[in-house]
Structure 1
Amino acid sequence: MSLCVTFLGTSGAVPTTQRNTSAVFVRREGDRLLFDCGEGTQRQMMRFGTGFAVSHVFVTHLHGDHVLGIPGLLQTMDFNERDDPIAVHVPAGTRREVERLVGATGTDPDFPVRVHGVEAGDVALSADDYEVRAFDTDHDARSVGYALVEDDRKGRFDRERAEELGVPVGPKFQRLHAGEAVELEDGTVVEPDQVVGDPRPGRTVVYTGDTRPTGATVEAAEDADLLIHDATFADDNAGRAGQTGHSTAASAAEIANRAGAERLALVHVSSRYAGNPTPLEREAREIFEGRRAFVPDDGDELDVPYPE
């Protein structure tokens, strides 16, 4: 089951020649999800080959560098004769503003655009085997972050043990792995826990949007496979980070450490570091020991493997 993240926009509030404004594209098998949609996101999607088949857009807050790409993206989808509906999830209390943004050009798309307000603790999207959950962030606007959390997977099936117990190769293997007891020809009943191991964790990808460091992020990102965290400034601008509702690379790394995250992607990079993010990576790696902290470039793709 593939899970791939494409970083479409990694800049802070101002785009640069190297980095566009905030947008992260997630492909999970057949599902296409977009987290934030800054100005120019549709061009980034064309440039990096993600396509436009997005079913859900998750907006962290309504600052322009996170939402101004929505009207253009929807218009392009309309030009491409899209029929499928799209859901736009936004912080509670901002739905009407986003609806006005969608209609800013004076025309509505010919496909349904459904805007939903979400609060921290809400399940914004409940799919067959994963959820996207909203959590509290701390910015100078109504804001939430989002965690994509997969369901636990089945435990490993012990074929050798099943054969030792006399289970014939075939449909009874599948029934046991699905959690159903089976009866053998001699009347013996084999229970699933005799041949199936403990459930194995799925994957978790967390995206904060703009935020100061928070305990809510630590909770949402517990044992996450990938934490994508605001790292607007280096530590010599920690005061400015706090004043403007952002994080430093060092504070993002501290959050990742506390959460036990596997990897940390530093995004929303201030234009002062756009061409040389080394100070951010260096500060984060000094704290986030034993794991990988990095500043992705626009267009970078990252496959998220299962924990084992």
Structure 2
Amino acid sequence: MTLRVTFLGTGGAVPTTERNPSALLVNREGDRLLFDCGEGTQRQLMRFGAGFDVSHLFVTHLHGDHVYGIPGFLETLDFNDREDPLTIHVPPGTKGKVRSFLESLGGWPSFPLRLSETSPGAVPLRREDYEVRAFDVDHRTNAVGYVLEEDDRKGRFDRQRAEELGVPVGPKFSTLHEGESVELDDGTTIEPEQVVGEPRPGRTLVYTGDTRPQERTVEVARNADLLIHDATFADDRAERARKTAHSTAREAGEIAQRADVRRLALTHVSSRYAHDVSAHETEANEAFDGEAFVPHDGDVVEVPFPDGGSSG
């Protein structure tokens, strides 16, 4: 079951020739979710073959490098005769500002567009087997981060044990795997727990947007499969990170270590480091026992199940 991240924009407030402003596309088994939409995001979607079939856009905050791409993105969708609805989720207290911003730059698109405020702890999107939750971050304005968390998967079905118990190959296997008991021809009842293992965890992806390192991120990212964390600066600009409410790569690594995440992606890289992010990776990996890396625009990361298994 697909959980794939395409890094559309990995730069900070000032774009460079290598890095666009913030944008992230998550493909969760065909559901395409866009997180932030910096300037030029619609071109990045085309450039990296990600497509425009986005159903939800989750905005972390209203600084320009996270939202200036929205009008162009909507206009591109309109030009392509989009008919499907799009929901834009924004932090609390910002819905009116976003509406005014969009209306001042060409008006409302012809397809259904919904603006929805989401507060920390809220679940702006719930699907059959996963949800997206908002959480509080520490930036200079109303801002949230987002967690995509899958439900637990069914335990593994022990076919050999089922056959030993006399369950005939066929529909009764599926019935047991779905959690229902079955009755055999001799009247014996077989319960699901006799042939189905314990539920297996789904995957968790966390995107902080811009933030200082904070305890809440540790809590929501506990055992996450991928944490995408603000790492605007290296150690040489640690004081600048504090003044601007951003994080250093080392601080992001410390958060990942405390949360016991599996992988750490360092994003929102300042233009100061346009040609060399080696310090970011070195300093984060000094603080984090897992894998910390700085993705480039266009990089695609597959998020595997924690047990290495499939959805079945």
TM-score tier, shorter chain, comes to over 0.9
Q: Distance in 2 between matches of 1:227 and 1:37?
A: 19
SS at match of 1:36: strand
Q: Distance in 1 between matches of 2:87 and 2:143?
A: 18
Q: Distance in 1 between matches of 2:58 and 2:264?
A: 20
State whether residues 210 and 230 of structure 1, in contact with CA within 8 Å, keep that contact through their aligned partners in structure 2.
yes
Residues 135-154 of structure 1 mapped to structure 2, 5 A cutoff: 135-154=135-154
1:245 correspondence with 2:276? no
Q: Distance in 2 between matches of 1:99 and 1:175?
A: 49
How much has 1:239 moved relative to structure 2? 1.3
Kindly tell me the number of residue pairs found equivalent between the two proteins: 307
State whether residues 145 and 209 of structure 1, in contact with CA within 8 Å, keep that contact through their aligned partners in structure 2.
yes
Q: Distance in 1 between matches of 2:296 and 2:104?
A: 31
Residues 156-167 of structure 1 mapped to structure 2, 5 A cutoff: 156-167=156-167
Residue 305 of structure 1 is matched in structure 2 by 304
Percent identity over paired residues = 67
Residue 43 of structure 2 is matched in structure 1 by 43
Q: Distance in 1 between matches of 2:59 and 2:186?
A: 59
Residue 76 of structure 1 is matched in structure 2 by 76
SS at match of 2:100: helix
Q: Distance in 2 between matches of 1:189 and 1:275?
A: 66
Q: Distance in 1 between matches of 2:146 and 2:274?
A: 25
Q: Which stretches of structure 1, 4 residues or longer, exceed 4 Å deviation after superposition?
A: none
Residue 292 of structure 1 is matched in structure 2 by 291
Q: Which runs of 5+ in 1 are unaligned?
A: none
Residue 106 of structure 1 is matched in structure 2 by 106
Q: Distance in 1 between matches of 2:286 and 2:36?
A: 29
State whether residues 71 and 104 of structure 1, in contact with CA within 8 Å, keep that contact through their aligned partners in structure 2.
no
Residues 107-186 of structure 1 mapped to structure 2, 5 A cutoff: 107-186=107-186
What do the CA deviations read for 1:155-187 (whole angstroms, capped 9, x no partner)? 000000101111110000000000000011111
What do the CA deviations read for 1:234-268 (whole angstroms, capped 9, x no partner)? 11211111110100000100100111110000000
Normalised TM-score (structure 1): 0.99
How much has 1:287 moved relative to structure 2? 1.1
Q: Distance in 2 between matches of 1:188 and 1:102?
A: 65
SS at match of 1:116: strand
Q: Distance in 2 between matches of 1:219 and 1:274?
A: 32
Letter aligned with residue 164 of structure 1: E
State whether residues 71 and 103 of structure 1, in contact with CA within 8 Å, keep that contact through their aligned partners in structure 2.
no
SS at match of 2:124: strand
How much has 1:106 moved relative to structure 2? 3.2
Letter aligned with residue 31 of structure 1: D
SS at match of 2:238: helix
Q: Which runs of 5+ in 2 are unaligned?
A: 308-312
SS at match of 1:71: helix
CA RMSD of aligned residues (A): 0.7
Q: Distance in 1 between matches of 2:150 and 2:62?
A: 27
What do the CA deviations read for 1:85-110 (whole angstroms, capped 9, x no partner)? 10000001000111112222232100
